[in-house]
Amino acid sequence: MRTSRRTIAATIAGAATLALVVTGCSAGGGDTSDEPVTLTLATFNDFGYTDELLAEFTAETGITVIHNKAATSNDARANYFQKLGNSGLADVEAVEIDWFTEAMQYSDLLAPVADDLKGRWLDWKEAAATDAAGNLIAYGTDIGPQGICYRSDLFAAAGLPTDRADVAKLFDGDWDNFFTIGAQYTATTGKPFIDSANSVLQGIVNQYELAYEDTDGSIIATTNPDIEAAYKAVVEKAIPISAYSGQWSEDWFASMASGEFAAMLCPGWMLGVISGNAPDVTGWDIADAFPGGGGNWGGSYLTVPANGAHVKEAAELAAWLTSPETQLKAFTNAGTFPSQVDALASDELAGATNEYFNNAPTGTILTDRANAITVATFKGPKYFQFHDALQNAVTRVFDGLEDEQTSWNNWVTEVSAF
Amino acid sequence: MSTTPPIAIVEESIPNERQRRRGERTTRIRGNRPGFVVYAVLAVVFISAAFPLWWSFVIGSGDASSLRERPWWPGGNFLANALAVVSNPAVNFWAALWNSIYSSFLIAASVVITSTLAGWAFAKLRFLGGPALLAFVVATMAVPQQLGVVPLYILFSDLGWTGSIGAIIMPALTSAFGVFWMTQYLRQAVPNELIEAARVDGATMIRTFWTVGVPAARPAAAMLFLFIFVGAWNNFFWPFIVLDRQNPTLPVALSLLQSNYFVDYSIVLAGVVLATVPLLLLFIFAGRQLVSGIMAGAVKG
Amino acid sequence: MSTATAKSPKQVRVVSFSHRMSRWDLKLSPYLYISPFFLMFLVVGLFPIIFTAVISFQDWDLVRGSGKFVGFDQYIWILQQPHFWTALRNTFSIFLLSTIPQLLLAIFIAAMLDRNIRAKTFWRMGVLLPFVVAPVAVGLIFNVVFADNFGLVNGFLTDIGLPAIQWHKEPFWSHVAIATMVNYRWTGYNTLILLASMQAVNREYYEAATVDGAGRFRQFLYITLPSLRPTLIFVVITSTIGGLQIFDEPRVFDQFGRGGAGQQWLTITLYLYDIGWGQWNFGRAAAMAWILFVIILLIGLLNLLITRTLVRDEGTRVVKLSRRERKELAR
């Protein structure tokens, strides 16, 4: 395959050169060794890596950093795998946890993290990035410990407590407790309690050790009783109290300001979504609680492709960006909650508050939520596909297209074909 | 004569040159100005067609809450929003603008030239394998294009062209669509007798093409240029994969404005309006070509 | 014009030389004209197609750039997927809902623009505006128009006492919404194509017909349409190809871009994209591309035949108007 590809490419090169002359453009050249090193960094969404922050790195090392940002994590994913086996990736590439397991399959193409950095991150964050050979192949950036965001004004109207500590006490329990409170709210007000049913599915599945694939690579999706239980709970108990099936639709964004629902499952990065889309609403707050213990939603890593031009310097940049100090600055910039042990223990984090959320001490709350996380769900290479299909199954019931059993059966058929 | 004449046999009788000239005058005779109904229909079409641009400007001149509030009239923030786009160092607006202009121009020019030449041959010259080759070209359009990105990236990666504008120009220099369009248009627009006449006068093939084909092709070429230019201008998928932020085209640069969990659409749409202005200028230019070209092409033949 | 006519003592030899040149000119010119296109096309057009064909018979790993030959397994897998057949149904449904109204509307608007109107350039360029506005803006607008709860259409419907339409739940309505987006974007485009050809019709034919008393509609039917035949074939073929490859509009129809939870608006190319870029299975995606290729070819041929039958041949009816035919036309 590879040979034939090269041959074709070589044949084509002649014609390409001609066209190059015709169009008068020059191909991008490689840098010469004399020049000072310039590194490229590729991220998506908002990692909190501002130009000022990167300028600090340049001041320290003399290395210039060019920051490329993709609009969405999905764009970044397409870009990453398209280029990983060829060339053209940035010197440091961000990878989101959802598709990180896919990248793990190609861990041999990534430069391993230096041994002396091991232990910098939370155990489960590191464990997920360690390949079969025992190499740590990615630098953890942020994590998504979840609390519960709530509208205190709507809670008050429904006769629920509004004080942060009281609300935390209210939700201190398992998912059934959460569903019961939700059902009460919906019965009292006639309105949905939470934003979306699939956020609950995510919340439950992210508390299992195993979801769709076993650690040995075997598929357990349709036989894992936990998954069926999660589906059942979401369909029977979460759907009746949810405003939407999934998130990120126009209606969903609009509803954050309209007061259509009273609560959301809230990782650190969700705070910015809420305050950005409902800037004029007062009453949002966040409670230090999560059903069934702790839960992580999202978070990312930085990777260094092994075939880059400046692997050594790139590793230096990745290490600097994911140091506790830098990540704390990123948290201030963008709300990306640090995954580094030292950062979690810092005073700076403990003192962080959020004005929009009624001056809630978000630093302490999210640190508590991070410490409550005890399991990291094993996510195999096909996690994304399985979970996506299960979300669709929930949506089909939500939309009234299929009943609970039919939708489940269709999911089983669908994922069996993977 | 044992061999097939290379030029298609004239199957129909065509009015001679003098009659055709008369036809030019009658164009105006025939065209008594249409009534109110026609303008009313066209006005409805125009208003609905122009609405997205208007709406983009309305939202682009508002603030972050405009998309939600759905105003009907512009606010006063357009200049501020536009400035936010242009002055954002990460967006790299001016470099992107220049890249978009010259890459779209080269692509459109190349497609027009190669398509006109090939279209002329397919439509009006008879040669061995012609119909089969045309059918082949058309058939290749039926292969879904999304997948093409994979082999193309491998190719340009091997050539070391990733990140250069050449990588987005190269694959777009020809278009099967363009060849098919030119072929069908010239088939209809140029009477075979005209070519026959030119040949009888002893004109070489290239001269026939130049004096008969090119003038007739002008309106179709102007339109093809417009279509291809706009298509190249708005193309996102492939440039996004192969280019990077140091050297982007406009859609790639502007996509940065949407790279947050919370997107301020007033800034995004201000960027959209800015990116549309050069196209509107092109419209004014190409529109004239189209109208004058149509008249000239139809008459001079 | 040529040297052959020059008075020269060596006239005979010059003629024969020039004659030979002329023959070469005739024979080679066509190939010369198509060569710039084909040379470049071979590199960037054909290479991806061949590549796709090769990996459709493989279990192919994008990152490693290597694959294992699996014969027709990928094709068989696809034909066994219920999603594939749903996608095929959706593709045809959206195709019919968009292409037919779109072409009729385009012909109608083009006929309006073909009249001797004032400010021609303005109106002509106006119809193409939806084509130039960046897709992100058009996507946002239609999101607002067709949102299930807070959408403009549903707001209007509930205001006048009708039930809201579940655009993102019921397959038929999702197809209507997507077809609307398609028609919006491409009607002006086809209008201009048809207009350019209408303008190239010799105006004398119309004059003759007017003299004979034929009305505007009959002129359109008996002169304009037959003259447009090659362009109509072009428009029908390209619309078939574009319509069956529909991708952008269903992709932006919701925030996930994968055709809906119940595959309500999953189209073939959307499914292809999901298998390729979602599941990283390019062997299967390539096989699907070739299955779609065959489908498009079959439908394209069918449409070609239909168009040829419906629109009678150029010239025969118009140019060689016999006395009887003129009378017929005038009636």
Tell me if chain A has a CB within 8 Å of the CB of C38: no
Say whether B298 and C200 touch across the interface (CB within 8 A): yes
Q: Residue B41: its chain C contacts at CB < 8 A?
A: 109, 112
Residue A78 above 90 pLDDT? no
Q: Mapping DSSP to helix (H, G, I), strand (E, B) and coil, where does residue B204 land?
A: coil
Cβ-based contacts of C27 with chain B (< 8 Å): 6, 127
A90 touches chain B (CB under 8 A): yes
d(CA C133, CA C130): 6
Residue C47 has its nearest CB partner, among A12, A86, A255, at A12
Quick one: pLDDT band at residue A313, thresholds 50, 70, 90?
A: very high
Report all structural domains of chain A as residue ranges with CATH numbers, in order of start. Answer: 19-143+298-350 (3.40.190.10), 144-296+367-416 (3.40.190.10)
Chain C residues closer than 8 Å to B196 by CB: none
Asked if residues A323 and A113 have their Cβ atoms less than 8 Å apart, the reply is no
pTM of the model: 0.84
> How far off is chain A from B159, nearest CA to CA, in Å?
7
User: What is the rounded CA–CA span in Å between residue C149 and residue C95?
Assistant: 27
Tell me what the pLDDT averaged over chain A comes to: 87
- The Cα–Cα gap between B11 and A149 comes to 79
| Chain B neighbours, 3+ Cβ pairs < 8 A | A, C
Are B22 and C204 inside 8 Å of each other by CB?
Answer: yes
> How far off is chain B from A190, nearest CA to CA, in Å?
25
> What residues of A are in contact with residue C285 (Cβ under 8 Å)?
none
Using a CB-CB cut-off of 8 Å, the residues of chain C touching A249 are: 147, 254-255
Distance from CA of A323 to the nearest CA of C (A): 30
Chain A residues with CB under 8 Å of B65 CB are: 279-280
Q: Work out the percent of chain A whose per-residue pLDDT is above 70.
A: 92
Q: What is the rounded average pLDDT of the residues A28-52?
A: 75
pLDDT digits (tens, 9 = 90+) for A338-379: 999 999 999 999 999 999 999 999 999 999 999 999 888 888
Contact B42 C296 (CB under 8 A): no
What's the pLDDT tens digit per position in B59-110?
889 887 777 777 888 888 899 999 989 988 778 899 999 999 999 999 999 9
- Band (C207; pLDDT cuts 50, 70, 90): confident
Closest CA to B123 of C23, C203, C34: C34
pLDDT at C256: 82
**Long-range contacts of residues B84-88, Cβ cutoff 8 Å, at least 24 apart:** B84/B267, B84/B270, B85/B254, B85/B257, B85/B267, B85/B270, B85/B271, B85/B274, B86/B274, B88/B256, B88/B257
pLDDT digits (tens, 9 = 90+) for A151-179: 999 999 999 999 999 999 999 999 999 99
- Check if C52 contacts A (Cβ < 8 Å): no
User: From CA B165, how far away is CA B236, in angstroms rounded?
Assistant: 13
- What kind of fold does domain B90-263+275-300 have according to CATH? MetI-like fold (1.10.3720)
pLDDT value at residue A17: 39
Three-state SS letters, chain C: CCHHHCCCCCHHHHHHHHHHHHHHHHHHHHHHHHHHHHHHHHHHHHHHHHHHHHHCCEEEECCCCEEEECCCHHHHHHHHCHHHHHHHHHHHHHHHHHHHHHHHHHHHHHHHHHCCCCCHHHHHHHHCHHHHCCHHHHHHHHHHHHCCCCCHHHHHHHHCCCCCCCCCCCHHHHHHHHHHHHHHHHHHHHHHHHHHHHHCCCHHHHHHHHHCCCCHHHHHHHHHHHHCHHHHHHHHHHHHHHHHCCCHHHHCCCCCCCCCCCCCCCCHHHHHHHHHHHCCCHHHHHHHHHHHHHHHHHHHHHHHHHHHHHCCCCCCCCCCCCHHHHHHHHC
Of A45, A69, A280, the CB nearest to B90: A69
Residues of A with a Cβ under 8 Å from any C Cβ are 1-2, 5, 8, 12, 15-16, 19, 78, 81-82, 84-86, 102, 105-106, 109, 245-251, 254-255, 382, 384-385, 388, 391-396, 399-402, 413-414, 417-418
pLDDT at B26: 42
Of B260, C254, C253, C166, which is closest to residue A246 (Cα–Cα)?
Answer: C254
Nearest CB among B143, B185, B205 relative to C197 is that of B185
A35/B234: higher pLDDT: B234
Res. A254: pLDDT tops 60: yes
Sign of CA dihedral B2, B4, B7, B10: positive
List pLDDT tens digits, range B169-194.
999 999 999 999 999 999 988 888 88
**Mutating which of C256, C277, C288 best tests the A interface, going by the most A Cβ atoms within 10 A?**
C256
Residues from chain C contacting residue A255 (CB–CB below 8 Å): 149
DSSP B255: G
Question: pLDDT tens for residues C285-331?
Answer: 999 999 999 999 999 999 989 888 887 654 433 333 444 444 444 44
Q: Which residues of B touch C117 (CB under 8 A)?
A: 33-34, 38-39, 42
Which domains are seen in chain C, by residue range?
3-55 (no CATH), 73-330 (1.10.3720.10)
CA distance C145 to chain B (A): 11
Chain B residues whose CB is inside 8 A of the C104 CB are: none
List chain B residues with pLDDT less than 70: 1-32, 259-262, 290-301
Give the mean model confidence (pLDDT) for residues A187-212.
95
Q: What is the pLDDT of residues A104-130, one digit of tens each?
A: 999 999 999 999 999 999 998 999 899
